[in-house]
């Protein structure tokens, strides 16, 4: 496919004209995000049913684990339910606002990516636009896969372990709503970003900056880096949470090696 020159319109537009175009795109993004925020804010019950589901022993992940344990003749996980408390006067309202905004931002992310592509596409070569159109859907899908893994596996098991952990029978756990939501959002977001590793490796391989033999040669270094990164991003320092994060990232690294080989 021959490389085409950049359109003349992108070269002749002044700085203020570019700024005006960018303002139009930003306004559209803000309108969509605001509309979705209002919708999410109105459906408070449904929104928090989803967010607070992992704190109860009836969550789907725990039920699946119990079914697998029963089929193997093992003891099921004991039932549990962690009570959440609010420690501030406006804490619950602020938490409602935050969760509604995060939900709106997530739902609007495809439109935001599309608007960002529309803004920068006139300045791209045809080959660059072709790569961008291939990368953006893949990056969004991988982010959602990481987000779902964090929601259904990483966060529930981490919360169950830490929420029911006791140093003494005389000390009870009272988890604040703010702590729950901040940990939930942070772990989900980080898992979504970590799942962008194959997309990043694909881009670097297309640019000729990364090869499969180099990734295999530095596999041990990558494992050490993954462990250090997992230790930094996990909210606690226990080995259980570290393993929950490090294992999927290592599997993504192996998947990235396969992708880079195919590119090569």
7 pLDDT higher than 60: no
pTM: 0.83
- Residues 196 and 91: their CA atoms lie apart, in Å, by 33
Higher pLDDT, 27 or 16: 27
CA atoms of 236 and 49, how far apart (whole Å):
25
Q: What pLDDT is recorded for position 57? A: 84
Q: pLDDT: is 80 or 264 the higher one?
A: 80
Tell me the average pLDDT across 168-172.
80
Give which of 110, 147, 138, 121 is closest to 29, Cα–Cα.
110
Share the mean pLDDT of the chain: 86
Confidence of residue 206 (pLDDT cuts 50, 70, 90): confident
**How do residues 131-166 score in pLDDT, each as one tens digit?**
888 888 889 999 999 999 989 988 888 888 888 887
pLDDT at 51 over 80: yes
pLDDT tops 60 at residue 2 = no
pLDDT at 239 over 80: no
How would you class 95 by CB atoms within 10 Å of its CB: exposed for 0-12, middle for 13-18, buried for 19 or more? buried
Q: Per mean pLDDT, which range of 31-40, 100-109, 228-237 is the poorest?
A: 228-237
Picking from 12-21, 39-48, 133-142, 146-155, which range would have the lowest pLDDT averaged per residue?
Answer: 12-21
């Amino acid at each position: 496919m021959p490389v085409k020159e950049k359109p003349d319109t992108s070269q002749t537009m002044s700085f203020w004209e570019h700024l005006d175009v960018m303002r139009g795109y930003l306004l559209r993004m803000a309108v969509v995000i605001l509309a979705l925020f209002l919708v999410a804010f109105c459906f408070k019950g449904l929104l928090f049913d989803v967010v607070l589901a992992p704190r109860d022993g009836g969550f789907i992940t725990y039920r699946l684990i119990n079914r697998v344990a029963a089929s193997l003749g093992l003891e099921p996980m004991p039932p549990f339910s962690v009570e959440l408390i609010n420690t501030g006067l406006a804490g619950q309202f602020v938490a409602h606002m935050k969760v509604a905004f995060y939900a709106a931002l997530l739902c609007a992310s495809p439109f935001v990516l599309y608007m960002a592509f529309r803004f920068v596409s006139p300045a791209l070569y045809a080959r660059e636009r072709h790569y961008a159109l291939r990368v953006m859907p893949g990056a969004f899908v991988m982010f959602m896969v990481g987000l779902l893994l964090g929601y259904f596996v990483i966060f529930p098991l981490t919360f169950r372990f830490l929420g029911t952990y006791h140093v003494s029978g005389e000390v009870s756990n009272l988890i604040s709503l703010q702590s729950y939501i901040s940990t939930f959002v942070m772990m989900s977001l980080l898992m979504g970003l970590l799942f962008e590793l194959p997309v990043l490796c694909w881009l670097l391989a297309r640019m000729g900056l990364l090869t499969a033999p180099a990734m295999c040669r530095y596999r041990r270094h990558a494992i050490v880096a993954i462990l250090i990164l997992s230790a930094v991003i996990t909210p606690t320092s226990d080995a259980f949470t570290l393993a929950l994060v490090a294992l999927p990232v290592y599997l993504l690294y192996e998947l990235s090696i396969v992708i880079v080989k195919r590119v090569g």
